[in-house]
Structure 1
């Protein structure tokens, strides 16, 4: 992101160094807000409707009422893409309950003034070599927050658990961390959904285990079904991951990436598996088909 990049904040398009948020904003004070990450390919918003719908679902879940329509938010994004001349990049939408006092009690809807921020920039989640050769992961010592606590299907600003787990992975020489829930069931990674393949069957955790039902996850499941794979949304444990034939992750920023080593254990022969290569290629083909 260049120094003269333009961002949107509360009705204004300003240079990023001039974008100001109140120190009383509840997003800063309490993480009282939500966000959405969206890809840009060839100047086009990828899976736009799905992401904007989820943004408004998060609005409903948090009861942060946006003073925008879906079309108005899309217009803001498109204008920023044009103003920043971004061809391939990343969109970050952020909404908070806005500025209020220091108390925990939120403002009532009639006096609330939510903050809306939109950033269009570049992103590199993992180095190119990890897409070619696969990456390392660990099982985090942190337990995934349950759906009865704060449902991970809402992309809230409360990402401290994810950050701590990411730091834990990096400190152990890995690029990603995998969460188990309180029952020892595999859920997801710090920013990606997880899939494993065993005996030509593809498995991924069901949403009720405590995952974000990722938009890329949903698309990959559709692609797998179209390719004729046996795909099962089914609970599995650490043991099943260690003994899998292949493992890969999906996410808006990550796209599709292979995991070849978990907790020092090679997944199969420690190389990107043949099925994962097919899935990566088909995902790329799909992007090209809708964004060219």
Structure 2
């Protein structure tokens, strides 16, 4: 049986030996950032975009990542190799480091902590083919959702409520304005145009969201970054959500409202095919 290797503050260790200090600020305050990087067929997908966002989040949080980009890339590839990762994710987390508990930042000489590990995650092919359901909930999160921080309590409460009701996702809204899912970006199709919330501080500018926008632009599919309301969501021709692990996921029902014909719509299905084509092109995946 393969012993899983993780990276912890400069060392590659067995998962069972990886221990986090009780005064790590990620543990005590959620004072840190993270990325989830998709791997298909042993190849990293959208690595550059994930690394760019990691460093952007660090800058916004005033965290100095103690590794150069090429060093972090080496960590990712070594973990993939050591753990024989074919289809899954690399999870990477940076906290502000280990110091005596206090609310203000520690001294500058305290180094940030970096943890990374891999996990096998298959593509959600059945759900992408059939579609999933979602529920609506008020967006109670903080006002810097553009930072991929460890502070996810609002997201977790929304996701748990959705899961407890048998739904795949919670689609959040501030008042009447839809923002995004608890762990995904949200899109609707209205009059043949794809709409999604602008990349402001109220949402995370997802990597899959960016790929979808690029694919739509390249293939003549109208794509507009514009806010839309709960009523517009419920009356949409199509709804889909997107994330690193969910890819392009059709939503066929929200609460008690059936969306469109209750099956994945033609624009969503076209985007799925285009996204699969991008994976095949970038990662040499044999897909149909």
Q: TM-score range by the shorter chain?
A: over 0.9
Q: CA deviation at 1:141?
A: 3.5
- Equivalenced residues, count: 284
Aligned-residue RMSD, C-alpha: 1.5
Other-structure match for 2:187: 195
Distance across 2 between alignment mates of 1:290 and 1:24: 41
In the alignment, which of 93, 111, 114 is matched to residue 112 of structure 2? 114
- 2:146–2:200 contact (8 Å) kept in structure 1: no
List aligned pairs for 1:73-222, cutoff 5 A: 73-109=72-108, 111-123=109-121, 128-146=125-143, 151-181=144-174, 183-208=175-200, 210-222=202-214
How does the TM-score come out when normalised to structure 1?
A: 0.94
Other-structure match for 2:256: 264
DSSP-derived class of the 2:86 partner = coil
1:108/1:166 Cα in 2 relative to 1: closer, same or farther (>3 Å)? same
Distance across 2 between alignment mates of 1:11 and 1:128: 36
Runs of 4 or more consecutive aligned structure 1 residues displaced over 4 Å after TM superposition: none
- 1:187–1:210 contact (8 Å) kept in structure 2: yes
Residue 57 in structure 1 maps to residue 49 in structure 2? no
Other-structure match for 1:291: 283
Q: CA deviation at 1:142?
A: 4.1
DSSP-derived class of the 2:200 partner = helix
Q: Deviations over 1:195-230 (max 9, x none)?
A: 111221111111226110111101101101111111
- 2:88–2:122 contact (8 Å) kept in structure 1: no
Other-structure match for 1:276: 268
Unaligned runs of 5+ in 1: none
Distance across 2 between alignment mates of 1:269 and 1:185: 24
Q: CA deviation at 1:108?
A: 2.1
DSSP-derived class of the 1:207 partner = coil
Unaligned runs of 5+ in 2: none
- 1:144–1:180 contact (8 Å) kept in structure 2: no
Distance across 1 between alignment mates of 2:14 and 2:150: 23
1:102/1:215 Cα in 2 relative to 1: closer, same or farther (>3 Å)? same
DSSP-derived class of the 2:22 partner = coil
